[in-house]
Structure 1
Amino acid sequence: MQPELPVHSARALTGGGTQARIELDGKVYDLRITRAGKLILTK
């Protein structure tokens, strides 16, 4: 049995906006919510 994965709200990550920055091991990624409600994650 696999442990349940954590779920994070994209709206909460963006503070109610459409963009946020996410850091992983010193690298920063941009998270964007599109007008169509899709997610884009870029380096």
Structure 2
Amino acid sequence: MTVLPAPAEQDMMPRPPAYRAEDLVKGGDTAQIILGTQTYTLRITRAGKLILTK
């Protein structure tokens, strides 16, 4: 009889949703993200980095 090790806790936790930044900006370089009553701007820089500002 083979005994398998217990799965690590991180393996049992569901993964958060994942989104491609390029899909969010739809061909541009910015997208608006709303959280409650606040609006944030997500921007992809020329260097390919992400900036999130309020």
Query: Structure 2 length as normaliser, TM-score?
Result: 0.75
Structure 1's consecutive aligned runs of 4 or more residues displaced over 3 angstroms after TM superposition are none
Structure with greater contact order relative to length (CA < 8 Å, sep ≥ 6): 1
Query: Structure 1 length as normaliser, TM-score?
Result: 0.92
Q: Which has the higher helix share?
A: 2
Cα RMSD, aligned residues only:
0.6
Q: How many residues align?
A: 43
Q: Which runs of 5+ in 1 are unaligned?
A: none
Q: Which has the higher strand share?
A: 1
Percent of aligned pairs sharing the same letter: 56
Q: Which has the larger radius of gyration?
A: 2
